[in-house]
Amino acid sequence: MPKEALKVAIAGLGTVGGGTVKVLQNHADEIAARCGRPVVITAVAALSKEGLGFDISGYAWYDDAVAMAKDADADVFVELIGGSEGVARAAVEAALNAGRHVVTANKALIAHHGKALSRLAESKGVSLNYEAAVAGGIPVIKSIREALAGNTLKRVQGIMNGTCNYILTTMREEGLDFDKVLKDAQDLGYAEADPSFDIDGVDTAHKLAILTSVAFGVELNFKDVHVEGIRHISAVDIQFAEELGYRIKLLGVASRENGTLEQRVHPTMVPLDSPLAHVEGVFNAVVIDGDEVDTVMQVGRGAGERPTASAVVGDITDIARGISLPTFSVPADKLESVPTRDMNEHVGAYYVRLSLLDQPGVFADVAAALRDHQVSMESMIQRAREPGEPVPVVLTTHETTEANMRAALDAIAKLDSVTEKPRMIRIEG
């Protein structure tokens, strides 16, 4: 006897919501065959019906997502509104309290409230799925929770923001500065009118906090993620990186060792022989290191209507198949509280760009500041200068602590011969 249809209510009919409606409509027969039951939309909610570009005439209409979460004839509530508070949070909580499964693409909501929401979902015996919240169409959450369940994971890192990767790629390929490429990205729709969420690293930090919890079975700890963006990266830095055998990427990196977590988001010099160096444009990539599988890398589109809708529908089909997993790999009450290492304890190599006056003793002063703070220089590049202009100098260092590196840069910045604030980029081995 055929199983009853899984009934779905979708809140938010923007880019991802519209894409989800279209995928469920266009692939209805394939989804039913793969799930052993139909998956049907019964209700939708948005602020307006105008200009949607797809048919919603057969669905119950709500202009109040919270009311739909409580009252709709639906087994699954799909939240595609966005934001960590307000309507999105209230609607998800209402759906869970009503005993409905929830699927969301809302990385901010999960990063800030994931533990409480997972407890609520477990108490009601329903699923809280969020594959689309991290890396768009790349099934990284599914990989960690299912395919890699037999591994102790050691490290998760990746390029998780397509806007930043597009900007850095275009700066390198066209030799343009950040502000020009950002404006072009906004004109093309790759960057928001207010791009700060992306370019200041917050979007990547939300995703990293979620991945850290899933990968290591620890409580979400977004507030302790070290976050830096790409505003200060210049075309000059990108040119020097290429000359030194690196490319600059905004990476999110998480690891667990010696009873602490490392969670950091910042621009990084990635060696040209690393696969991450060749992930370009709007693409994302996630690299996972496990004790049994060694290293797994997944690459794909990290945003956009179709890839993100694909991930949302994947979560819905898991529910249709009866697949139920703990939200963060282990039950909420089993998530460990693990402290995050202070960024000053980070150990790594560094790229430093200086602007120096061409006068006697300058390099000796810089070398002394490095020596006094236990920083060992590996290489130096000095550019020819225009008459009367400061000399651009680039240094790379051997591994040292972040605290030592910052102390050395503070000392260098105070030298009379230094004409600009020193620029530092971490080098990832």
Q: Which segments of the chain belong to CATH 3.30.360.10?
A: 141-301
pTM of the model as a whole: 0.92
Whole-number pLDDT of residue 231: 95
Flag the least confident range among 42-56, 131-145, 303-317, 397-411: 42-56
Contacts of residue 368, defined as CB under 8 A and 6 or more positions apart, other chains included, come to: none
**CA dist list (Å): 106 to 80, 114, 145, 399, 400:** 7, 10, 19, 37, 37
173-211: b or e for each residue (b if 16 or more CB lie within 10 Å)?
A: eeebebeebbebbeeeebbeeebebbbbbbbbbbbbbbb
**pLDDT tens-digit map of 349-360:** 999 999 988 888
**Is 53 buried (19+), middle (13-18) or exposed (0-12) by CB count in 10 A?**
exposed
For residue 190, give the DSSP letter. S
Whole-number pLDDT of residue 1: 34
* Region 85-105 average pLDDT: 96
Rounded to 10°, the helix 362-372/402-413 angle is 150
Q: If pLDDT is split at 50, 70 and 90, which confidence band does 230 have?
A: very high
Catalytic residues: 207
User: 400-401 and 347-356 as β-strands: parallel, antiparallel, unpaired?
Assistant: antiparallel
Question: Quick check: helix, strand or coil at residue 94?
Answer: helix
The secondary element (H helix, E strand) that includes residue 67 is helix 65-71
- CB-based contact 375:347 (threshold 8 Å): no
Whole-number pLDDT of residue 257: 87
CA–CA distance, 144 with 174 (Å, rounded to integer): 37
* Region 55-83 average pLDDT: 94
In sequence order, what DSSP letters do the residues of 261-316 get, joined into one string?
EEEEEEEEEEETTSGGGG--TTEEEEEEEETTTEEEEEEEE-SSHHHHHHHHHHHH
Q: Does domain 6-133 have CATH number 1.20.120.640?
A: no
CA–CA distance, 134 with 263 (Å, rounded to integer): 16
CA–CA distance, 413 with 397 (Å, rounded to integer): 17
Q: Which segments of the chain belong to CATH 3.30.70.260?
A: 345-427
CA–CA distance, 91 with 107 (Å, rounded to integer): 15
What is the CATH number that goes with domain 345-427? 3.30.70.260
Block residue for tokens 């620890």: 218
Q: If pLDDT is split at 50, 70 and 90, which confidence band does 268 have?
A: very high
* Region 205-220 average pLDDT: 96
Class of domain 141-301: alpha beta
Contacts of residue 174, defined as CB under 8 A and 6 or more positions apart, other chains included, come to: 181
Backbone CA torsion sign across 105, 55, 191, 251? positive
For residue 131, give the DSSP letter. G
Flag the least confident range among 49-58, 193-202, 317-326: 49-58
Whole-number pLDDT of residue 304: 84
Whole-number pLDDT of residue 52: 84
β-sheet with 128-129: strand ranges across: 60-62, 39-45, 6-11, 76-79, 101-104, 128-129
Residue-averaged pLDDT of the chain: 93
Whole-number pLDDT of residue 277: 96
Whole-number pLDDT of residue 387: 63
**pLDDT tens-digit map of 338-394:** 999 999 999 999 999 999 888 888 889 999 999 999 999 999 888 766 666 788 899
Q: Which segments of the chain belong to CATH 3.40.50.720?
A: 6-133
Name residue 184's amino acid: D
Whole-number pLDDT of residue 385: 66
**CA dist list (Å): 297 to 159, 190, 276, 328:** 11, 24, 9, 20
- CA-derived radius of gyration, the chain: 24
Task: Give the number of other CB atoms < 10 A from CB of residue 368.
Answer: 15
SS3 content of the chain, % helix, strand, coil (to 5): 40, 25, 35
Whole-number pLDDT of residue 187: 86
